Structure 1
Amino acid sequence: MIALLIRDLRLAFRAGGGFGLGLGFFLILAVLVPLGVGPDPATLGLIAPGILWVGALLACLLSLDRIFALDHEDGSLDLLATSPIPLEGVVAIKALAHWITTGLPLALAAPVLAILLNLATPGFGVLIVSLVLGTPALSMIGAFGAALTVGLKRGGLLMSLLVLPLYMPTLVFGAQAVTRAAQGLDAVTPLLLLAGITAGSVALLPFAAAFALRINLR
């Protein structure tokens, strides 16, 4: 399983492998929003938590179709399905690789982009914590959506339609945590709910995704 994780990380770091795509999108969004809504600091500070979380969600969405598509195209997915590694473990490792190359860089880069959006200083720490807690759920839910649509031609749009409703609770609680922290309020409750969503996703969705893969590979 460690070898599979290293392989997926190497593929993601190669040119065209998806690494940097999410960060580039995140940066472009943070630059375009002030141009669109105006440079008023009060307005930017008010919408910053939601914009940052929406940007992180969409940046994760960009590379979801690569989780299983390349392995399906070259036949590696069939070999993984018949290997001694449980298919549930394969799903979990691929979701972890996606998070390391997409979600974690977004969490680390978010404070820099928050400066562009004039986020209040008390919200910076909670922004990082919320993204670290929430982006694993985005990757795991995305892996489930990718498993449902693997092998379908132009399945990226269908996958987006499937996973976006499942992303809503993570988006709501993540943005709410940052908003409360920026206003000087207690953000523990939304952070705990965010952690609960991630824990539930990691515990249950590998089995659902593996079941979907077995059906699609028949």
Structure 2
Amino acid sequence: MNKPAAAFCRLKQKPANLPGLFAVFKAALGREWRMQVRRRGDLVNPLVFFALVVVLFPLGISPTEDILAPVAPGVLWVAALLATLMSLDALFRPDLLDGSLEQQLVTGYPLAPLALAKLGVHWLLSSLPLILLSPFLGIMLYLPWEAQGVMMLALLLGSLALSLVGAIGAALTAGVGKSGVLMTLLVLPFYIPVLIFGTGAMQAAISGGSAMAHLSLLGALAALAITLAPWAIAAGLKIAVSGE
């Protein structure tokens, strides 16, 4: 092998002192945790929005149980869906503006695990509090106690799918200013199955039936999103960086 070719091969080889992917994943988790905690407003606003929608809904129609109880699953799920969209609007834009995404591309590590780390922290700090708050709001809508556990489990599975699918839209529109409406138009059609199965699970629990079929479908959607969405997010981020 001639000297130029040998030098090129050495450049293509991974340096021995470069940290492994797992170490980089752990570092990304720590970094994202610190960054998300600093931006408390971005985490609190969707939670406040979720609570306000549910609290104001009885004032807009009627506070009676006969009217609120049948529509409680739909109200809770629509509010959770919109709150998730609100939290994902500027998920990747700060990293694009400060050059972090370009640096991650330069390192040569795959973007998919790094995006998954970011989404994991985001879900813990935004969607998990929403799930924990939902039983108290369900009481306001006269949601039966036997449906509370199903609601929390359905929101747990559904919020994973909503966050991952929504993050694809956030990645594709990261380089677009005021992209909230565009992102909503991109991801809203894919949110409809989650909305249908989530409300169906709660309605089945309220009527005394089995919600296992709906929960299984939500779990399948969440598993599919966890498997495929990080790679789609990585592709969207590369497009956003190249088009900046």
Q: Percent identity?
A: 43
Which residue of the partner structure matches residue 178 of structure 2? Answer: 154
Report the secondary structure of 1:78's partner residue.
helix
Task: Please give the alpha-carbon distance, in whole angstroms, between the structure 1 residues aligned to 2:60 and 2:46.
Answer: 21
Q: SS in structure 2 opposite 1:158?
A: helix
| Residue of structure 1 in register with 2:102 after alignment | 78
Partner of 1:34: 58
Instruction: State the partner residue of 2:164.
Output: 140
Hey, what's the Cα distance between the residues in 1 that align with 2:27 and 2:41? 18
Aligned twin of 1:101: 125
**Which structure 2 residues correspond to residues 1-218 of structure 1 after superposition, within 5 A?**
1-218=25-242
Q: 1:91, 1:143 within 8 Å by CA — same for their partners in 2?
A: no
Contact 1:170 1:194 in 2 (8 A): yes
Shift of 1:198: 0.6
> After the TM superposition, which parts of structure 1 deviate over 3 Å for at least 4 consecutive aligned residues?
none
CA deviations over 1:109-166 (Å, ceiling 9, x no partner): 1001101111011110001100111101111011111111111122221011111111
- 1:85 is paired with a residue whose SS is coil
Runs of 5+ unmatched residues, structure 2: 1-24
Name the CA distance, whole Å, in 2 between partners of 1:26 and 1:65: 15
Specify whether residues 66 and 17 from structure 1 end up closer, same or farther in structure 2 by C-alpha distance, changes over 3 A only.
farther
User: How far apart are 1:96 and its partner, in Å?
Assistant: 1.2
Q: Note closer, same or farther for the CA distance 1:15–1:64 as it changes in structure 2 (3 Å cut).
A: closer
User: Which has more radius of gyration?
Assistant: 2
Q: Which runs of 5+ in 1 are unaligned?
A: none
Cα distance in 2 for residues equivalent to 1:35 and 1:88:
44
Q: Deviations over 1:74-122 (max 9, x none)?
A: 1111112222431111221122122111111111110011011110111
Question: 1:16: Cα distance to partner?
Answer: 4.7
RMSD of Structure 2 on Structure 1 (CA): 1.3
* Alpha-carbon distance in 2 for matches of 1:165, 1:20: 26
Conserved in 2, the CA contact under 8 Å of 1:96 and 1:139?
no
Cross-structure match for 2:7: none
Provide the aligned length of Structure 1 versus Structure 2: 218
How far does residue 60 in structure 1 lie from its aligned partner after superposition? 0.7
Q: What is the Cα deviation at residue 17 of structure 1?
A: 4.4
